[in-house]
């Protein structure tokens, strides 16, 4: 089998509000085509226009290649070798950031093809599924008022979620305000549901310690990304000072930063985003690292249904999986891109697709409707 085309697709809503840290306003999808008719799909959670260029661009020299040029004519089943080919071919402009994000989209699509070729789901290829359904937490941007927090939390409860995360928005501006918002969420969720807080890099170590002291009555499962992604010294000081789990890693790519977050940052929860970290090829290395160090891995997932499917396939095969993230942002890019939407079961879980590959199908009409040219 040979790759015949790598098609980059930019999707974008008509209006984008750049004051919101809401990545569901645009999206980057790839279709990898083969000469045997199999088509793999993947996505990158990145700047879609940069990703499109990284796929389409003509090469500059041996270690500044366009990714489509590198892949067309290659055997899509040699996934690990192709990952290295892309990594080395993008070395001068890559090694992290948008290049790794774009590689993630292609890696997801290659695993999708590998699953289709084998007649097995990606979870099966990753070592076998341990779960047919995964517990998910609902995830939404933190609104500005306790009243709006209550609306979101009560809707999550009514919809059957057992866990909710709120993050970014006003968090980090005032500790008193943050506590008020988080207390409203806990009150609405009741004592038995799980509540996570995403601080959106809005804190210093000492302010985060103070916040967590004041949040003690509200039973926070984790505090996410209070500091900048590579402030390993800060993460270590914070993690060592508080009993609450500290989570981070959504901004990282490649195995190295995750090793640093565990070894230097003393983190409790790693949050690789399959559409940023380097795809399944890197995420499985992170899962092995985490299993060896006894830390939790909960993939970051705040984009389209392709990433939901990838995150479910990944967690389904993972030892000690606890949750997968599930965006409840009201964007057609989140819930309108697949032919069949994901649904919660009565235990607050989402079924892991069991068809070949990712087990999901793009709604081509929706793709064309949302396509940005």
Residues that bind Mg ion (CB under 5 A): 198, 250
- Bridge-based pairing of strands 26-34 and 3-12 is antiparallel
Q: Which is nearer to Mg ion, 231 or 250 (CB)?
A: 250
Angstrom CA distances, 17 to 14, 20, 206, 268, 279, stand at 10, 6, 32, 33, 28
Q: Indicate which residues carry an active-site annotation.
A: 300
Residue 82, phi-psi category: left (phi > 0), alpha (psi -120 to 50), beta (remainder): alpha
Minimum CB–partner distance for residue 171 and Mg ion (Å):
11
Minimum CB–partner distance for residue 225 and Mg ion (Å):
5
Minimum CB–partner distance for residue 232 and Mg ion (Å):
18
Q: Which is nearer to Mg ion, 26 or 250 (CB)?
A: 250
Q: Which is nearer to Mg ion, 198 or 268 (CB)?
A: 198
Q: Can you tell me the distance from the alpha carbon of 50 to that of 67, in angstroms, rounded to the nearest whole number?
A: 12
Best CA proximity match to 22, nearest among 250, 251, 329, 306: 329
Minimum CB–partner distance for residue 94 and Mg ion (Å):
23
Q: Give every strand in the sheet of 39-44, ordered side by side.
A: 3-12, 26-34, 39-44
Tell me how many degrees the CA angle 42-164-298 measures, rounded to the nearest 5.
45
Q: Give per-residue burial for 239-278: e unless 16+ CB within 10 Å, then b.
A: beebebbbbbbbbbbbbebbbebbeebbbbbbbbbbbbbb
Instruction: Using CB positions, name the residue nearest to Mg ion.
Output: 198
Q: Which is nearer to Mg ion, 120 or 333 (CB)?
A: 333
Angstrom CA distances, 345 to 31, 162, 183, 205, 333, stand at 30, 11, 27, 39, 22
Q: Which is nearer to Mg ion, 62 or 228 (CB)?
A: 228
Minimum CB–partner distance for residue 54 and Mg ion (Å):
24
């Amino acid at each position: 089998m040979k790759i015949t085309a790598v098609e980059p697709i930019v999707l974008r809503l008509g209006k984008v509000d750049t004051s919101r840290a809401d990545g569901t306003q645009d999206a980057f999808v790839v279709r990898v085509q083969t000469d045997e008719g199999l088509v793999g799909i993947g996505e990158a959670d990145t700047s879609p226009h940069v990703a499109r260029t990284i796929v389409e661009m003509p090469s500059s020299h041996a270690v500044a290649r366009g990714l489509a040029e590198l892949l067309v004519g290659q055997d899509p089943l040699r996934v690990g070798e192709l990952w290295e080919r892309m990594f080395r071919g993008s070395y001068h402009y890559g090694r992290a950031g948008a290049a790794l994000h774009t590689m993630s989209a292609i890696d997801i699509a290659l695993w999708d093809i590998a699953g289709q070729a084998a007649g097995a789901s990606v979870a099966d290829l990753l070592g076998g599924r341990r779960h047919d359904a995964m517990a998910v937490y609902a995830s939404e941007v933190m609104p500005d008022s306790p009243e709006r927090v209550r609306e979101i939390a009560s809707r999550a409860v009514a919809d059957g979620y057992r866990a909710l995360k709120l993050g970014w928005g006003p968090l980090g501006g005032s500790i008193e305000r943050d506590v008020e918002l988080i207390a409203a969420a806990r009150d609405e969720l009741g004592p038995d549901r799980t509540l996570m807080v995403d601080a959106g890099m809005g804190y210093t170590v000492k302010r985060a310690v103070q916040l967590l002291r004041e949040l003690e009555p509200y039973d926070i499962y984790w505090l996410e990304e209070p500091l900048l992604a590579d402030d390993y010294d800060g993460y270590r000081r914070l993690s060592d000072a508080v009993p609450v789990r500290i989570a981070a890693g959504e901004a990282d790519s490649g195995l190295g930063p995750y090793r640093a977050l565990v070894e230097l940052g003393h983190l409790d929860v790693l949050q690789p985003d399959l559409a940023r970290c380097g795809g399944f090829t890197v995420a499985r290395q992170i899962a092995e690292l985490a299993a060896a160090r006894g830390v939790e891995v909960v993939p970051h997932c705040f984009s389209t249904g392709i990433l939901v499917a990838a995150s479910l396939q990944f967690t389904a095969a993972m030892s000690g999986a606890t949750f997968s993230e599930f965006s409840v942002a009201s964007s057609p890019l989140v819930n309108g891109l697949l032919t069949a939407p994901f649904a919660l079961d009565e235990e607050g879980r989402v079924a892991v697709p069991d068809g070949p590959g990712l087990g999901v199908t793009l709604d081509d009409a929706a793709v064309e409707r949302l396509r940005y040219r």
